[in-house]
A = this chain, B = another copy of it.
Amino acid sequence: MGLEYEGTSYHGFALQPNLRTVQGALEEALRRVLGHDVRVTAAGRTDSGVHARGQVVSFSTEARLPDAAIARAVNTFLPCDIVAADSVEVSQGFDARRCALRRSYRYTIWRGQRRDVWQRRFSTHVPDPLDVDAMRAAAERLTGQHDFTSFIGHASQQRAGGSPVRRVTTAEWSIDGSLLHFDCAADAFARHMVRNMVGTLLSVGRRRRSPDGMREILWARDRRVAGPTAPARGLTLMSVDYENQESHS
């Protein structure tokens, strides 16, 4: 099932006791449609305040409903800030998380002098002058397969216990009027990875670091040498790619 949501009023995607989460709202809506308890798996476990335009979730059900009917029915029970885009039956072994080949995120910055009423939930306000060319050069140095320890929160590494190596296939800045977008795609992301990259790239834009400094940061494998974590509200999960499938977005 493809899913869009505004993350502003949620404590992230993943279920947490006594907190409002996207997973909680979705599983409750699915329970009402399918008539049984449902546990969903998401391609990207977005953090508190992070949005999604192309989240993908998978779940098992014995209910016999036409593919698209599930999304339509679920939408009548979902809150106004979550919407199911589509639903399709997949093979038994499919898992939205494990089978995902690539996740694409976009981080948006509002560069106007004044804070903006309309973009405030979906962007971070950076009124300072930014050297976008330097930010582009720095971003380029993050593409490829690297040990991203310097861009991953300690807690995340301890919890996950997995490899900090990721393959970043896209890391590009684009200008759209007073908005500045950072598009980043990788096989997978660790927690806060995009936001830590953005915080570091912004310090390059402010000329506090050089683009070449990115390599040293990667080599250091130390979270303390990279920049701060950019705020969640600027981040959106745009799409997830699977084998033999078009991009879900």
A contacts, CB < 8 Å to B: 4-6, 75, 80-83, 85, 114-118, 120
Further 15 A-B residue pairs, CB within 8 A, beyond A4-B117, A80-B117, A83-B114? A4-B118, A5-B117, A6-B117, A6-B118, A75-B114, A75-B115, A80-B115, A80-B120, A81-B117, A81-B120, A82-B117, A83-B115, A83-B116, A83-B117, A85-B114
Could you say how many copies of this chain the assembly holds? 2
- Distance to closest chain B CB from A177 (angstroms): 15
- A/B interface sample: 18 pairs, CB < 8 A: A4-B117, A4-B118, A5-B117, A6-B117, A6-B118, A75-B114, A75-B115, A80-B115, A80-B117, A80-B120, A81-B117, A81-B120, A82-B117, A83-B114, A83-B115, A83-B116, A83-B117, A85-B114
In the bound complex, what is the Cα–Cα distance between A127 and B6 (angstroms)?
21
Most buried by B among A75, A82, A85, A117: A117
- Distance to closest chain B CB from A160 (angstroms): 29
In the bound complex, what is the Cα–Cα distance between A6 and B6 (angstroms)?
17
Q: Which residues of B sit under 8 angstroms from A115, Cβ to Cβ?
A: 75, 80, 83
In the bound complex, what is the Cα–Cα distance between A5 and B117 (angstroms)?
6
Q: Which residues of B sit under 8 angstroms from A83, Cβ to Cβ?
A: 114-117
In the bound complex, what is the Cα–Cα distance between A83 and B80 (angstroms)?
26
In the bound complex, what is the Cα–Cα distance between A83 and B115 (angstroms)?
7
Q: Which residues of B sit under 8 angstroms from A5, Cβ to Cβ?
A: 117
- Identify the closest chain B residue to A6 (Cβ): B117
Interchain residue pairs A-B with the least CB separation, the first 3: A4-B117, A83-B117, A6-B117
Q: Which residues of B sit under 8 angstroms from A80, Cβ to Cβ?
A: 115, 117, 120
- Distance to closest chain B CB from A38 (angstroms): 21
Q: Which residues of B sit under 8 angstroms from A117, Cβ to Cβ?
A: 4-6, 80-83
In the bound complex, what is the Cα–Cα distance between A4 and B119 (angstroms)?
12
- Distance to closest chain B CB from A154 (angstroms): 31
Q: Which residues of B sit under 8 angstroms from A114, Cβ to Cβ?
A: 75, 83, 85
